[in-house]
Amino acid sequence: MWKWHVCGILFLATLLNYMDRQVLALTLPELKNNYALDESRIGYLEGYFGYAFAIGSIVFGWLADRIGPRILYPIVLAGWSMMGVAASAASEPWVKELLENEGDPPGTAVFRWLLICRTILGLFEAGHWPCALITARLILSAKDRPLGNSILQSGAAIGAIYVPFYVMWVNDSGRSWQFAFCSIGVVGFLWIPVWFWMIPRGVLRTAAPNDTTLTNETQVPNRGLLVRRLIALGIVVTTLTVSWQFLRAWLPLYLQDYRKFPPRAMQFCVSGYFIAADIGCLLAGAFVRALSIRYGLHGSRMLGYALFTCLTASAGVVPFIDSDVVSVALLMIAGAGILGLHPFYYSLTQELPARNLGLLMGFLSAVGWITSSYFQIEIGARIKAEHNYQAGFLIAGMAPIIGLVALLILWGRTRKPQQT
C-alpha cells in the first residue's frame, strides 16, 4: 500500500502545481478589465511561462538524474509556491514605480511583474514532472505505471476543478484577486514536511549506470530504435502540450468574452471541463490495466491512445457550434480526451533508459513547451486581431492525431531482453 500512498502525495503535488498555474486564467477577466491585460499580453504571459518551463525541464531533469527526487522535489515546489505569493504584489505602488515609465500604456507595470513571476513560476514548475515520474518509475511495476501516472496526472484536473470555486469564494467574501494568488502559494509550503515524512532518506535512488533492475521489464531498444522512439515521443508531447495548454489557458476567457457567459456560469463550466478531464485521465490508466492481459501492455496503450485522440478531436468543432449547451458538452468530451492521453505518454517515456530518464524526459518536455509557447504568443495576437478562437480550437482538437500517427509509424516492435 505504501506505493499507492506515495502516488497520493504525487497527486497532491500536481494539484498544487496546477492551482498555482490556473489561478491566473480564472482571474483574467478581472485583470483584463482593470489592468488592460489584453489577449496579446496574455499570449506573452503564457508564452514566457512555457519557454521557462522548457528550460526548467532540461535543467531539473538533469538534476533529478543526479541527485534524485527526494531533495530536489521540495526545492522546486518551494520555488513555484514562492512565485505564486510574489504574483499577488503586481498592483502594488512600488511595483509601478519600479517597472513603469511615464508614457507607458496603462497596466504596463502589472503586466511586466506578472511576466517576471510567471516566467520564474514556469521554470520551477517544470521540476515537478521529472521528480514525479522518476518516483513513479522507481516504486511501480510497468503494469501499474499507467494507473499510477493517471493518479498523479489527475491532480492537474482536480486542482483546476477546485480553483474556480476557490476564486468564486474569494470574490463572494469580498477578498481581492491578490488573496487568491497569495493563499494558494502559501499552502504549497505545507506539502514539504509531508514529503520528507513519507519518503525517508535512502528510499528513492536513481538507477546506477550498470543497474538493470529498474530498466523496463520487456524492452531493450537498440540505438536506432531509441532514436525513432525519441522522435515519436517528441511529436507526441508537442501535440499534447499545444492542445492541453491552449484549452487550459484560454477556456475561461473564451466562455466569458466570446460566449458571453456570466462570471459564475463560466466558473462552473470551467470546473465541469476539468471534472471531465479528470475522469478521462483516470479511465485511461484503468483502461490499460484492464486490457493489458488480453492485448499486452503496448497494444492496450495504442488502443487507448487512438480512442482518446478521437475524443480530443471534438474540440475542433466547438467554435462552429451556435448552441452553448452543445459546445460545452463537446468541451467536456475534449477535456476527457486530452488529459486522458497524458498517462499513455508518461508510460511510454518511462521505458526510456533509466540512467538518463530525467534528462530525456526534460528534453522531450522542452520540445513540447517551446512549440506550445510560440503557439500561445501567435494565437493570442490572432485572437486579438480577429476576435475569434476558431484556429486555436481547430489546432487543439486535431493536433493529437499527428502524435498517434507518429507512434504507429516510429515506435516499432518491442524486443525481449536476451537471456544470459
pLDDT tops 60 at residue 420: no
pLDDT tens, residue by residue, 187-235: 999 999 999 998 888 777 644 333 343 344 445 567 888 899 999 999 9
For the CA atoms of 7, 8, 14, 15, the dihedral, rounded to the nearest 10 degrees, stands at: 160
Q: What DSSP element (H or E) covers 352? A: none
Question: 92 phi and psi, to 5 degrees?
Answer: -70, 145
**Whole-structure pTM value:** 0.78
pLDDT tens, residue by residue, 53-108: 999 999 999 998 888 899 999 999 999 999 999 999 999 999 999 998 888 888 89
Better-scored residue on pLDDT, 224 or 127: 127
Tell me the domain boundaries of the chain. Answer: 2-196+215-410
pLDDT at 214: 39
Pick the CATH number of 2-196+215-410 from 3.30.540.10, 1.20.1250.20, 3.90.1150.10, 3.90.1200.10: 1.20.1250.20
Nearest to 341 by CA among 307, 314, 371: 307
pLDDT at 413: 65
pLDDT tops 60 at residue 419: no
Q: How confident is the model at residue 414 (pLDDT cuts 50, 70, 90)?
A: low
pLDDT tops 90 at residue 335: yes
Q: Name the region of 36 (left: φ>0; alpha: ψ -120 to 50; beta: rest).
A: left
**331 Cβ partners below 8 Å, 6+ apart?**
247, 251, 269, 273, 314, 315, 318
Written as nine digits, the cell of 341 is: 492521453
Q: What DSSP element (H or E) covers 260? A: none
| Least trusted range by pLDDT, from 99-103, 219-223, 287-291, 299-303 | 219-223
- H helices of 36-144, where? 39-67, 69-87, 93-99, 108-125, 128-139
pLDDT tens, residue by residue, 238-280: 999 999 999 988 998 899 888 999 988 988 898 899 899 889 9
Q: What DSSP element (H or E) covers 267? A: helix 263-295
pLDDT at 256: 87
Region 2-6 average pLDDT = 86
Mean pLDDT (the chain, rounded): 87
pLDDT at 299: 82
Percent of the chain with pLDDT over 70: 94
